[in-house]
Structure 1
Amino acid sequence: MKSFSLLLASSLVVFGLGGFHERPYPVATVCLSPEEKKLYDLIMVYRQENHLESIPLSAKLSQVAQIHARDLSEHYTFDPKNKCNPHSWSSHGKWTSCCYTNDHKKASCMWTKPQEIASYAGNGFEIAYYSSIGATAKEGLDGWKISPGHNPLLINSGKWENTKWKAIGVGIYKEYGLVWFGEVDDSAAPETCP
């Protein structure tokens, strides 16, 4: 079966807004699956090949990536003609649902997701990958490397040249792979799943 892949990039500005009296997800022990760890490692090798520093793993951004990958797999119907793209969130969780449109008019619905879910109070930038036969680290990174909208985030080029990534989170669930980049340190790193 030929894999159908789609790569998406979107800037998700996350403001440290008040008003979240109770986080829907408590501080949790976040762990990376072997495939998620492989994705992180492949990204760091790619950055090293481009003479860039490694980005520390973030438990908070990984938590958001993993929750979003699962939400997409279970509640989002992938279709390039869908008015809500894969940066959307369903109403099936303890978060504010939203339809993220390609014209970015409803982008504000995404800006608070890392804050809303994991108390990450910095800018968040998500890249997403879809494969009908299941997302893998290698296929995701290979696609992102040749994508003019994704590669610049990975290697800090173009409009991202002066950005200093201080945190990265990864999540893979079934057909979706997600990576979140942030400019704010996260002192907690995810563990490797047993």
Structure 2
Amino acid sequence: MSHVIGRSTLLKPQPIRMGALLLCAAAMLCAGASAGAQRPDPATRLFAMLNAYRAEHGLAEVQHSPNLSRVARLHVDDLEFSPPAAHCSPHSWSTRGQWSACCYPRDHSQAQCMWNKPREIAGRDYPGYGFEIVCHHPRRMTPEIAMACWSASGPHLQVILNRGHWTGVAWKALGVEMPEHYAIAWFGRETDRASKTKPAGPYAALP
């Protein structure tokens, strides 16, 4: 099950060339692995696969955002421990954290609840809006499942590939998290001031 914010007409789903994408993502990660780095965690692999998918379509790499990754991590934990009610989408937030709670309906009438989360959580460290895509899987989530989920959805392709409502938008920041049953990616139009030339932590394996 996948969810996205947007008001665009559905695009015809495009089959993802998973073999080529995996090879491209693997190439992005091999430098760190050959240097003796530990195997990248699933979120790091998903981050690389998203950028590899963009590269296949002639789009620029989006820089890793520590602050948007933090928002993604908190939201994944919130969804795992406090699943939203049936009439609320996974863009919802519970009352169990230091953020504004909301039931995010399917008509996106509470979009501001999503957009404001980076500034609510990161404050001055990331004052821009954030735009989220979510995929849920009843079993263990993997980067491959997440990419297949998003590539089969027109609205998700529009966000990832800057199409439809997102044409002309230049993504400057990307945060990803994927622990158990959810995969979440947050895109931002502003550069994360905490970003480095090369990401820190597990993202250091990326060239």
Range into which the TM-score falls when normalised by the shorter chain = 0.7 to 0.9
Q: Give the alignment of 1:29-44 within 5 angstroms.
A: 34-44=41-51
C-alpha distance in structure 2 between counterparts of 1:70 and 1:173, whole Å: 8
Matched residues in 1 for 2:166 and 2:4: separation? 13
| Secondary structure, aligned partner of 1:178 | strand
Matches within 5 A, 1:165-180: 165-180=171-186
Q: Cα distance, 1:68 vs. partner?
A: 0.2
Give the 3-state SS of the residue equivalent to 1:180 in structure 2: strand
Q: Alignment partner for residue 150 of structure 1, among 132, 142, 156?
A: 156
Residue-by-residue CA offset, 1:85-137 (whole Å, 9 max, x unaligned)? 10000111111211111122233333321100012211211000100102111
Q: 2:137 aligns with which of 131, 134, 137?
A: 131
**Residue in 1 aligned with 2:94?**
90
Alignment of 1:14-163 (within 5 A): 34-76=41-83, 82-119=86-123, 120-163=126-169
1:9-54: per-residue Cα shift (whole Å, max 9, x none)? 015xxxxxxxxxxxxxxxxxxxxx7100000100111111111110
State the percentage of identical aligned residues. Answer: 36
Cα pair 2:50 2:160 within 8 Å, conserved: yes
Paired amino acid for 1:67:
L
- Give 1:55 shift: 0.3
How far residue 150 of structure 1 moved from its aligned partner, in angstroms, is 0.2
Aligned length: 165
Q: Structure 2: any 5+ residue segments left out of the alignment? A: 7-39
AA of the residue aligned to 2:151: K
TM-score (norm 2): 0.75
Hey, what's the Cα distance between the residues in 2 that align with 1:96 and 1:123?
15
Aligned-residue CA RMSD in angstroms? 1.7
5+ residue gaps in structure 1? 1-5, 12-32
Structure (1/2) with the larger helix percentage? 2
Q: Which has the higher contact order (CA 8 A, sep 6+)?
A: 1
TM-score (norm 1): 0.80
Higher strand share: 1
Report what 1:8 is aligned to: 3
Larger gyration radius, structure 1 or structure 2: 2
Runs of 4+ in 1 over 4 A off after TM superposition: none
Output the CA distance in 2 between the equivalents of 1:173 and 1:99.
22
